[in-house]
Amino acid sequence: MREQLIAQFKEIFGDEGEIRTYFAPGRVNLIGEHTDYNGGHVFPCALTIGTYAIARKREDNKLRFYSVNFETLGVIESTLDDLTPSQQAGWTNYPKGVMWAFEGRGYKLPTGLDMLIYGNIPNGSGLSSSASLEVLTGVVLKDMFGFDVSMVDIALIGQYSENNFNGCNCGIMDQFASAMGKKDHAIFLDTNTLKYEYAPVVLKDAKIVIINSKVKHSLVDSAYNDRRNECETALKELQKVVNIQTLGDLTEEEFEAHKDAIQDPVRVKRAKHAVYENQRAIKAVKALKENDVETFGKLMNASHVSLRDDYEVSCEEIDILVDLAWETEGVIGSRITGGGFGGCTVSIVKNDAVDHFISTIGSTYKEKVGHEAEFYVVDIGDGARVLA
């Protein structure tokens, strides 16, 4: 793969100068969805699929980008003087946003770059292709220009650029998982304090299976920002009656005692999800540490019900996949993962049931919705890094 991408880079940009290669993974969140901007806990892991960059410093301030995934777009050119978002820039708004955020922090880019990108995360799958590209760009800039930034800094810069350059008000989870991933471990992250610990994911006789529904409904970004605003308003209402900084500060019992302070029934449901999902994430990690995979699975199932009914970020196709998983023997737990309105489900499936799981759900899903789903039996990998 690496050699092939380097050859393609040389073909497009020429073979002079020092050419470097980089990788940043996608992620799947095992539990703790839509808690990362509500001061709660998340439990993501980095995958072995992700985004590759082949890059080289230039001697002028030109930026030249090429994506193997969007070959018809050809080389997209820009300059360091033009780090502003635009429709014409397309996918390059993500690396440009990170460059803009680096410069905003005082890390002045001395020269431009040539960069070839290739990703094997399916677009729109909810496995964080955008965060992977942002973290990847941060690693490229740190390595190429010797910037003194930590991997946590790179995650925060990626989140800042997505919020303020690309206009999606995401939390920190996706970038953090891509930057800080560790093979065979998930990251138990308190998004309020950025305290984290690595928890070994030992599933013994089971595998993590991701199903890509192959649908992405267009309201994902606007609905995401709506949910965030609803939670922020609910928090302000609760703060009038209870001393909290975030919704993640509340237990289920405290929420039930004070929820009448929230003036709108929709906001009650949104806040309830944020509070209960945070507690589910805490319980799920405890269960995993105690090798209680069955309890972990039940918490995953409850997470999906909450995301479907209280947070209302599921959709018909995803619900079909989760319902089919729940009906299939050997499934320990299954839920939607990612921002919602399409994308992927994540399931824990016993080893001897994986083939049956894929064939049964694959054929029934196609019958019900008219197109095929994609299945990935995934491994948990390391975070973003320089390859050579």
The set of catalytic residues is 174
- The owner of tokens 């998004």 is 191
Residue type, position 205, single letter: D
165 has which bridge partners? none
Assigned token pair, 180: 């800080």
Residue type, position 51, single letter: T
Strand order in the sheet with 185-190: 41-42, 185-190, 195-200
Assigned token pair, 161: 């650029």
Q: What are the residues whose beta carbons fall under 8 Å from the beta carbon of 313, sequence distance 6 or more?
A: 34, 223, 227, 307, 336, 339, 340, 341
Residue 122 DSSP code: P
CA–CA dist 48, 56 (Å, integer): 24
Cα separation of the two ends of the chain: 13
**The dihedral formed by the CA atoms of 334, 338, 340 and 344, expressed in degrees to the nearest 10:** -50
CA–CA dist 211, 322 (Å, integer): 10
- Scanning 37-148, the segments in alpha helix (DSSP H) are 93-104, 129-145
Environment class of 286 (CB within 10 Å of its CB; exposed 0-12, middle 13-18, buried 19+) = middle
Of 84, 68, 63, residue with least CA distance to 11:
68
CA–CA dist 63, 228 (Å, integer): 34
CA–CA dist 279, 290 (Å, integer): 17
φ, ψ (nearest 5 deg) of residue 66: -140, 130
> HSE (CB half, 13 Å, CA atoms) of 33?
32
